[in-house]
A and B are shown apart, each in its own frame.
Chain A
Amino acid sequence: MDFLKWAISPWGQRVPIHIAWFLIWVAVIAGFLFFIVHATYLRYFAKPKEFQSSGSPLIAARIPEHVPRHSLTARLFHWIMAASMFTLLFTAFLPKVGMPFDWVTYHWIAGSVLTVSILFHIVHASFFMDFWSIWPDKIDLRDAFRRTLRFLGKPEPPPDKFAKYPLENKLYHAAIMAAGLSLVVTGVFMMFRVRTIFFPRNPYLFSDMTWGMMYVLHGLAGVGLIALIMVHVYFGLRPEKRPITKSMIFGWMSRDFYLKEHDPQRWPVESPISSPASKGEAPEGLRDAG
């Protein structure tokens, strides 16, 4: 079984030209298998969530009814990126599974939108948001270890409540970032092979081998994205995750959900020591953190 499609270049060199298209179905099946395994685990094997106590009732009392989670800018980025990614996936893979249509123009336009939105997100997240909030920290790793041992029946203290993002969310972000950046970087170069409004065609920008590897990487990231997006949609629809999904629409999550799952010390919405708001500043946690 060949995972890559190979060809002989005019110079007699064996070069990869793209991934084998059956990998589309592998990704789809992997996505569905994940649904089944995860849903079965939650239904029959998962223990109720337990966290260490965090903060005093005094802190809880200061939490507003609607806890701001995603700014309008962050939400707009998310949904623009989602629309462009869906367009990219449909235009890329529907013709490969027997639904031919004029896809190339839509594909590179959606790719351009995704590229611009990701560039915007990098700047926005680096300079206007809490950049580190989406990256795993020591507590995340310690708690992941604890949770694993507890699942295996070992006596371990319960993990802390989450910071703004649970570890799974952070890992998902890392995976989608790797796939997205791979797609964007290779996609921008691949636009040199089609007619666009941006730059003149130059199919000889790289060697056949480099182009081939670029197409393969683009394809692998693309099929990876199928599974990743299926998983993302699955979690977005799961009942226990709905407050998070709603926060990506309305921008906030309820106080109850916040206190149940998040640690005000790790994701402060109101300072437990003193209220900057009383000094005329926006509280740290009320600033956009992603």
Chain B
Amino acid sequence: MAVIRDVMPAFDLFQPSSIADAQKLLQQQGSDGWVLAGGMDSFDWLKDRIKKPKVVVDLSGIAELKGIRSTAEGIEIGAMTTLTEVVEHPLIKEKFKLLADAAELVASPQIRNQGTIGGNVSQDARCWYYRAGWPCYRAGGNICYADTPEGRNREHAILYADRCVAVNPSDTAPALIALDAKFVIRGPKGERAIDAEDYFIGPDIDITSLHVLRPGDLLTAIRIPSTWAGAQFYFEKVRDRNVWDFPLLNVASAMVVSNGGIERIRIAVNGAAARPLRLRVVEDAVRGKPANAATGESAGKLAVQGAVPLQFNAYKIPLMRNLVKRAIGGVAEATWTS
């Protein structure tokens, strides 16, 4: 299959200046429309000529979608806010450092300057069979090339695979789930706010999308409540190249510890499945227990229950177990075990 790089297919470009206009345009165009945020994911698709939208709606001119605002409930981050702004914003650094840590580990400084928080949580899967334009399930076909004995699936899913084994590559997604964020979506029926974990969907629900956005929908903002402001945070990302790379796995946790015990906790991992996974079973199991290595150890074991490795990604099981263990027990206490 010939890949023609750097020459994008022709499309109509719209550059609306308001959310209302953008949403209306997307609604009019339906499945022919393509949302362009920072372009970090989009331009790959377009230059490789794998996706050929008829219409591109560029959101960069919409001021309403940019910036970080303090609200009565917490903060609101416009979907077009760059990752660098998220990393550097004093309010986020002070109260929600988990998100700043996660955003800082996204790709490279250049990409963070251009890439947006909305784009980071809405980016598509990195499975190379899919990105190469092969007619796999995710592309609307009837096969998964990665889930075969010969398939290159080192980076793929160990949990909740359903025909497609691609994973969600976002770093900020698990952090936002741990912070109990709400995603604000403007659609044909108006505005709705959904829990961060409900924004992401697996192949069992829709094999061609990693999120709930449908044609005509637009992610406009992410709201983080004050509930977890100043909690004990942990974010760790494991990747092949520490300079810049997508995660093999990452973990994000927000924990409130009192009297030596875990009073409240939210923990999520990404890179293990097609959607970032909130580990509710782990949360329930460790609540009330001391935040130490022993608790982390049992939490790690619990987290990987039901994991099914593919041919080349069995390493993800101990990796996930150890990341969860370190998120709860702390890096110093938790000894890495294979």
- Residues in A lying within 8 Å of B, measured CB to CB: 5, 7-10, 12, 15, 17-18, 95, 100-105, 193-195, 201, 203-204, 208, 211-212, 215
Contacts A7-B135, A100-B205, A104-B204; is A203 near B144 (CB within 8 Å)? yes
CB distance from A91 to the nearest CB of B (A): 12
B102-146 Cβ-contact flags toward A at 8 Å (1 or 0)? 000000000000000000000000000000001100011111110
CB distance from A207 to the nearest CB of B (A): 11
Most central of B143, B145, B161, B162 by chain A CB within 10 Å: B143
How distant is the Cα of A102 from the Cα of B148 in the complex, in angstroms? 22
How distant is the Cα of A126 from the Cα of B162 in the complex, in angstroms? 39
Residues of B within 8 A of A194 (CB): 162-163
A104 in contact with B143 (CB, 8 Å): no
- With CB as the reference atom, state the residue of chain A lying closest to B161: A195
B64 contacts the other chain (CB 8 A): no
Residues of B within 8 A of A100 (CB): 201, 205-206
A5 in contact with B148 (CB, 8 Å): no
A17 in contact with B141 (CB, 8 Å): yes
B142 in contact with A10 (CB, 8 Å): no
B185-208 Cβ-contact flags toward A at 8 Å (1 or 0)? 000000000000000010011100
Residues of A within 8 A of B139 (CB): 7
Across the interface, B147 reaches (CB within 8 A) one of A101, A103, A201, namely A201
Residues of B within 8 A of A102 (CB): 162, 204-205
- Residues in B lying within 8 Å of A, measured CB to CB: 1, 134-135, 139-145, 147-148, 161-163, 201, 204-206
User: How many CB-defined contacts (below 8 Å) exist between A and B?
Assistant: 51
Contacts A12-B1, A17-B135; is A211 near B142 (CB within 8 Å)? yes
How distant is the Cα of A203 from the Cα of B137 in the complex, in angstroms? 12
Q: Pull 13 A–B residue pairs with CB atoms less than 8 Å apart, ordered by A.
A: A5-B140, A7-B135, A17-B141, A18-B142, A102-B205, A104-B163, A193-B143, A193-B163, A195-B162, A203-B144, A203-B147, A204-B148, A211-B143
A203 in contact with B206 (CB, 8 Å): no
Across the interface, B145 reaches (CB within 8 A) one of A7, A10, A105, A211, namely A10
A212 in contact with B1 (CB, 8 Å): no
Across the interface, A193 reaches (CB within 8 A) one of B134, B142, B205, B206, namely B142
Residues of B within 8 A of A101 (CB): 205
Residues of A within 8 A of B144 (CB): 203
A9 in contact with B135 (CB, 8 Å): yes
How distant is the Cα of A7 from the Cα of B205 in the complex, in angstroms? 23
- With CB as the reference atom, state the residue of chain A lying closest to B150: A204
CB distance from B224 to the nearest CB of A (A): 27
How distant is the Cα of A95 from the Cα of B204 in the complex, in angstroms? 10
How distant is the Cα of A104 from the Cα of B147 in the complex, in angstroms? 17
CB distance from B75 to the nearest CB of A (A): 31
Contacts A104-B204, A194-B163; is A10 near B1 (CB within 8 Å)? yes
CB distance from B165 to the nearest CB of A (A): 10
- With CB as the reference atom, state the residue of chain B lying closest to A98: B214
Residues of B within 8 A of A9 (CB): 134-135
- With CB as the reference atom, state the residue of chain A lying closest to B206: A100
How distant is the Cα of A162 from the Cα of B116 in the complex, in angstroms? 73
Residues of A within 8 A of B145 (CB): 10
How distant is the Cα of A5 from the Cα of B142 in the complex, in angstroms? 11
B206 in contact with A8 (CB, 8 Å): no
Residues of B within 8 A of A211 (CB): 142-143
Across the interface, A17 reaches (CB within 8 A) one of B1, B142, B163, namely B142
Contacts A100-B206, A211-B142; is A10 near B134 (CB within 8 Å)? yes
Residues of A within 8 A of B204 (CB): 102-105
Across the interface, A7 reaches (CB within 8 A) one of B141, B148, B161, B163, namely B141
7 additional A-B pairs beyond A193-B163, A203-B144, A212-B142, beta carbons within 8 Å, are A9-B134, A17-B140, A102-B162, A102-B205, A103-B204, A203-B143, A211-B142
Residues of A within 8 A of B161 (CB): 195
- With CB as the reference atom, state the residue of chain A lying closest to B203: A104
Residues of A within 8 A of B163 (CB): 104, 193-194
